[in-house]
Amino acid sequence: MDPEQLLRTAADRLEALAARTTPGDWRTTGLLATRPEVVAHAPDGGTEHVAEARAGTSAWIAAVSPALAAPLAGWLRAAAAHRPVDPAAAAFAAALLARLP
């Protein structure tokens, strides 16, 4: 597979996975017993505990595992070295920083 097709295929699969995952802005909101409680906040104001939607979220959690940290950090550093900065990389970085402590 050529590099361009590899990127498009990865983007398509990520979007497909997100479409079948519990939607919303996921936030930690305290503890559920001894585990962090993760709640999805929908645009309409509704909420759903992500733990209650495991069938839809387990694939997302596995796909976006710590194994992606090094390649994503490498991509962000590479994007930062090019002018102008790729708007998709900047949007990704902004969304990520809004969720990181």
**How many structural domains are present in the chain?**
2
- Residue 16's H or E segment, with its range, is helix 3-19
Q: Whole-structure pTM over 0.75, yes or no?
A: no
**In this model, does residue 26 exceed pLDDT 80?**
yes
**Is there a single domain that holds both residue 20 and residue 53?**
yes
**Is there a single domain that holds both residue 90 and residue 69?**
yes
Phi-psi region of 2 (alpha: psi -120 to 50; beta: other; left: phi over 0): beta
**Is there a single domain that holds both residue 32 and residue 58?**
yes
Parent domain of 101 = 65-101
Phi-psi region of 30 (alpha: psi -120 to 50; beta: other; left: phi over 0): left
**Is there a single domain that holds both residue 4 and residue 24?**
yes
Residue spans of beta strands (DSSP E) within 2-98? 25-32, 35-41, 47-49
**Is there a single domain that holds both residue 53 and residue 85?**
no
Q: Residue 32: what pLDDT?
A: 66
**Is there a single domain that holds both residue 52 and residue 11?**
yes
Q: Residue 22: what pLDDT?
A: 84
**Is there a single domain that holds both residue 19 and residue 51?**
yes
Distance CA 14, CA 18 (A): 6
Confidence of residue 99 (pLDDT cuts 50, 70, 90): confident
